[in-house]
């Protein structure tokens, strides 16, 4: 069992918060003395605070810069497609 305290600001991680939970992409944006501000990428971007002691079932990987660039290209294209449908 891991905790958010192990994660570094500015990095993207693939994690599972619980054993039966889906894999989630997160980015840690800042650390305070007791908490971390985290971006969670699902269908929509969700932001929020996590306690450093909050449990994570598994940290699958820290994405390298190339993987993040590739993911951002696809994620941003999906957001554009969503908004284009609404405009028609």
23 belongs to a structural domain: yes
Phi-psi category of 85—alpha, beta or left, where left has phi over 0 and alpha has psi -120 to 50? Answer: alpha
Domain contains 81:
no
- Expressed as residue numbers, the domain containing 15 is 2-63
- 9 lies in some domain: yes
Domains identified in the chain, total number: 1
**With b meaning 16 or more CB within 10 Å and e meaning fewer, what string describes 9-41?**
eeebbebbbeeeeeebbbbbeeeeeebbebebe
Residue 62's CB is within 10 A of a number of other CB atoms, namely 14
Q: Is residue 76 in some structural domain?
A: no
- Mean pLDDT of all residues in the chain? 89
At 36-67, the pLDDT tens digits run: 999 999 888 999 999 999 999 999 999 999 99
Question: Predicted confidence band at 79 (pLDDT cuts at 50, 70, 90)?
Answer: low
Residue 26 lies in a domain: yes
At residue 42, the pLDDT reads: 85
CA distances (Å), origin 19, targets 12, 22, 57, 80? 20, 9, 6, 33
């Amino acid at each position: 069992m891991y905790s958010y305290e192990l994660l570094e600001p500015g990095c993207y991680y693939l994690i599972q918060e619980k054993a039966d939970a889906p894999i989630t992409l997160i980015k840690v944006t800042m650390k305070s003395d007791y908490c971390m501000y985290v971006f969670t990428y699902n269908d929509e971007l969700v932001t929020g605070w996590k306690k450093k002691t909050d449990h994570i079932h598994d940290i699958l990987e820290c994405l390298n810069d190339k993987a993040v660039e590739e993911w951002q290209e696809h994620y941003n294209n999906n957001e554009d497609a969503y908004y284009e449908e609404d405009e028609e």
